[in-house]
Amino acid sequence: MFKLFKKKSSVKEPEEVSEEVLEEVSEEASEEPSEEASEEASEETSEEVSEEVLEETSEEALEEVSEEGSEEAFEQEYSQDNKKKKKGFFKRLFKGLSKSRSNLRQRMSYVFGLNQIDDDFYEELEEVLITSDMGVYATEEIMDELQEEIRKRKLRKPADSYEVLKEKIREKMAVPEDAYLFTEQPSVVLLVGVNGVGKTTTLGKLASKLNSAGKKVVICAADTFRAAAGEQLAVWAERAGCPIIKGAEGTDPSSILYDAINAAKSRQADILLVDTAGRLHNKKNLMSELSKMYRVIEREYPDAIKETLLVLDAATGQNALSQAKEFSEAANITGIVLTKMDSSAKGGIAVAVERELSIPVKYIGVGETIEDLSRFDPDDFIEALFSSDKDNDNDNDAEDDLPRNEEE
Ligand SMILES: Nc1nc2c(ncn2[C@@H]2O[C@H](COP(=O)(O)OP(=O)(O)OP(=O)(O)O)[C@@H](O)[C@H]2O)c(=O)[nH]1
Ligand SMILES: [Mg+2]
């Protein structure tokens, strides 16, 4: 059934795996992540935020305080707060991925508990990855790279290659350096996606995040299709503290966008966030509506960065992947937002979307409140998908041990 590896008859029973090997893996693995990673991550977060805030600060202010000094002060003031927020966010992500994780870990423990690296191991692992929603394309890539690394490092036992596998998946999920350029230069950000995936909610969260980082944000209510869409967005605009431009129900979205661009320019806004209607009635209509909007942006605001974020509900698994394919044929999608990662999300789908479409996952949503949006962090993602549950119950950082083979 699987393309890459065909089963051979010499299957070794998992019982044959020595317990010490698995324990060794557990210990090695548990030394690796947590404290260092979370410190690094929170440093990164505060640096990111402080960079954003610093850029917004007026030039005179910057002359008064040296850039280094103000960054330090900013970090001191906010790092505690950020650490707490990050921990809460990670917990929700961890909880949301619990189903994916327990499924994955259970099956991984079987595969990595096999006695030796052979065709049987490769075939079993391939099946686990494919059925974990990672998709055929990403799985094939991961398997090829894993096999090569195993060959290079002359690894003999499956358990020895567990960390290599995680590293390969982490590499796939790396976010390009320029992924968030749109938050640093004048930009128009369109949020697109099918009904109910979380476009409006994500826009609200993003507006709040950018606004509290010192950015001037204007919101455009270009979903004129659904009754009450404008009101829903207005509530978010108020929460986020950002002005909103909207029109009457049924108005042409492009004409509201035109007004919003002028409002953004006259207010010297940094970012214009545009909510769009969630309907994929057919590709042709979607394409013509979006290209009309792009034309308006091109004509009225040619210097702005055009960012199109496709919002996908992570709980819908393969459906999200087919939506992503449809939309990427109709629009120039520059980033993915995976929402509802807090509620039985199918974690593997993040890998599939990223690899099948070569579009980076830029944000993830883990809840319905204004703080439940964060930039995608591959380390957190891998940790939430692979690490063990027990450590996260008592506020410690997650351990990364491989569970014992349940079939033993
Ligand atoms: N649990 C959870 N719920 C979310 C998340 N993001 C959005 N939601 C919820 O999903 C539902 C739909 O969200 P909306 O933001 O209205 O979705 P939309 O894509 O704008 O929907 P349409 O405008 O109808 O196309 C709401 O009940 C949100 O609260 C998330 O990250 N986690
Ligand atoms: Mg909406």
pLDDT per residue as tens digits for the range 302-357: 999 999 999 999 989 888 998 899 899 888 999 999 999 887 778 889 999 998 88
Query: What is the rounded average pLDDT for all residues in the chain?
Result: 79
Task: Report the SS3 class of residue 1.
Answer: coil
> Which residues 6+ apart lie within 8 Å of 73 measured at CB?
65
52 alpha-carbon distance from chain centroid: 20
pLDDT at 50 over 50: no
User: Do 180 and 298 touch, CB atoms closer than 8 A?
Assistant: no
pLDDT at 210 over 60: yes
**Ligand 1 mutation target, pool 231, 368, 372, most atoms within 8 A of CB:** 368
User: Do 317 and 288 touch, CB atoms closer than 8 A?
Assistant: no
Mean pLDDT within 13-25: 36
80 confidence band (pLDDT: 50, 70, 90): low
Q: Which ligand is nearest to the CA of 311?
A: 1
User: Do 314 and 339 touch, CB atoms closer than 8 A?
Assistant: yes
Q: Which ligand is nearest to the CA of 363?
A: 1
Which atom in ligand 1 lies closest to the alpha carbon of residue 197?
19
State the number of CA atoms in the 13 A half-sphere of 400 facing the CB: 23
Residue (of 235, 197, 203) closest to 219 by Cα position: 203
Compute the distance between CA of residue 136 and CA of residue 124 in angstroms, rounded to an integer: 14
- What is the end-to-end Cα distance of the chain in Å, rounded? 27
* Residues forming beta bridges with residue 361, ordered by sequence position: 336
**Ligand 1 mutation target, pool 201, 203, 341, most atoms within 8 A of CB:** 201
Mean pLDDT within 180-198: 95
401 vs 172, more confident: 172
82 vs 212, more confident: 212
Angle at alpha carbon of residue 239, lines to 237 and 243, rounded to 5°: 30
Which atom in ligand 1 lies closest to the alpha carbon of residue 203?
15
pLDDT at 27 over 90: no
274 alpha-carbon distance from chain centroid: 20
Look up residue 363 and give its DSSP letter.
E
Residue 250 Cα to ligand 2 middle (Å)? 15
The backbone torsions φ and ψ at residue 203, rounded to the nearest 5 degrees and listed phi first, read -60, -45
Angle at alpha carbon of residue 221, lines to 220 and 225, rounded to 5°: 150
* Structural tokens at position 246: 């909207």
Q: Which ligand is nearest to the CA of 340?
A: 1
User: Do 56 and 214 touch, CB atoms closer than 8 A?
Assistant: yes
Residue 52 Cα to ligand 1 middle (Å)? 27
Residue 276 Cα to ligand 2 middle (Å)? 7
pLDDT at 51 over 60: no
145 confidence band (pLDDT: 50, 70, 90): very high
Compute the distance between CA of residue 369 and CA of residue 271 in angstroms, rounded to an integer: 21
Residue 198 Cα to ligand 1 middle (Å)? 3
Angle at alpha carbon of residue 180, lines to 176 and 185, rounded to 5°: 135
Q: For the purposes of burial, counting CB atoms within 10 Å of the CB of 34, is it exposed (0-12), middle (13-18) or buried (19 or more)?
A: middle
228 confidence band (pLDDT: 50, 70, 90): confident
Residue 188 Cα to ligand 1 middle (Å)? 21
User: Do 89 and 205 touch, CB atoms closer than 8 A?
Assistant: no
Compute the distance between CA of residue 399 and CA of residue 388 in angstroms, rounded to an integer: 6
Which atom in ligand 1 lies closest to the alpha carbon of residue 366?
31
Which atom in ligand 1 lies closest to the alpha carbon of residue 341?
31
Ligand 1 — pocket residues by CB below 6 A? 193, 195-201, 223, 226, 229, 278, 339-340, 342-343, 365-368, 372
pLDDT at 390 over 70: no
State the number of CA atoms in the 13 A half-sphere of 158 facing the CB: 27
Per-residue model confidence (pLDDT) at position 329? 86
Please give the share of the chain, as a percent, with pLDDT higher than 70: 74
Residue 196 Cα to ligand 2 middle (Å)? 7
Residue nearest (by alpha carbon) to ligand 1 atom 10: 198
Q: What is the pLDDT of residues 239-278, one digit of tens each?
A: 999 999 998 888 899 999 999 999 999 999 999 999 998 8
330 vs 153, more confident: 153
Residue (of 104, 100, 92) closest to 342 by Cα position: 92
Secondary element (H or E) of residue 339: strand 335-339
Compute the distance between CA of residue 264 and CA of residue 295 in angstroms, rounded to an integer: 17
Mean pLDDT within 70-94: 69
Per-residue model confidence (pLDDT) at position 79? 64
Residue with tokens 């960079």: 51
CA trace torsion 269, 273, 276, 282 (10° rounding): 100
pLDDT at 54 over 70: no
Question: What angle do the packed helices 348-357 and 318-330 form, to 10 degrees?
Answer: 30
Which atom in ligand 1 lies closest to the alpha carbon of residue 201?
15
Per-residue model confidence (pLDDT) at position 42? 42
- E strand residue ranges, 182-329: 187-192, 217-221, 244-246, 271-275, 305-313
Per-residue model confidence (pLDDT) at position 2? 45
Compute the distance between CA of residue 321 and CA of residue 229 in angstroms, rounded to an integer: 26
- Beta-carbon neighbour count of residue 181 at 10 Å? 13
pLDDT at 406 over 60: no
Mean pLDDT within 158-171: 94
User: Do 353 and 236 touch, CB atoms closer than 8 A?
Assistant: no
Sign of CA dihedral 112, 116, 122, 124: negative
Lowest mean pLDDT: which of 67-76, 96-105, 265-274?
67-76
331 vs 199, more confident: 199
Residue nearest (by alpha carbon) to ligand 1 atom 17: 198
Which atom in ligand 1 lies closest to the alpha carbon of residue 204?
15
Q: Would the pTM of this model clear 0.85, i.e. be above it?
A: no
Residue (of 226, 222, 230, 229) closest to 289 by Cα position: 222
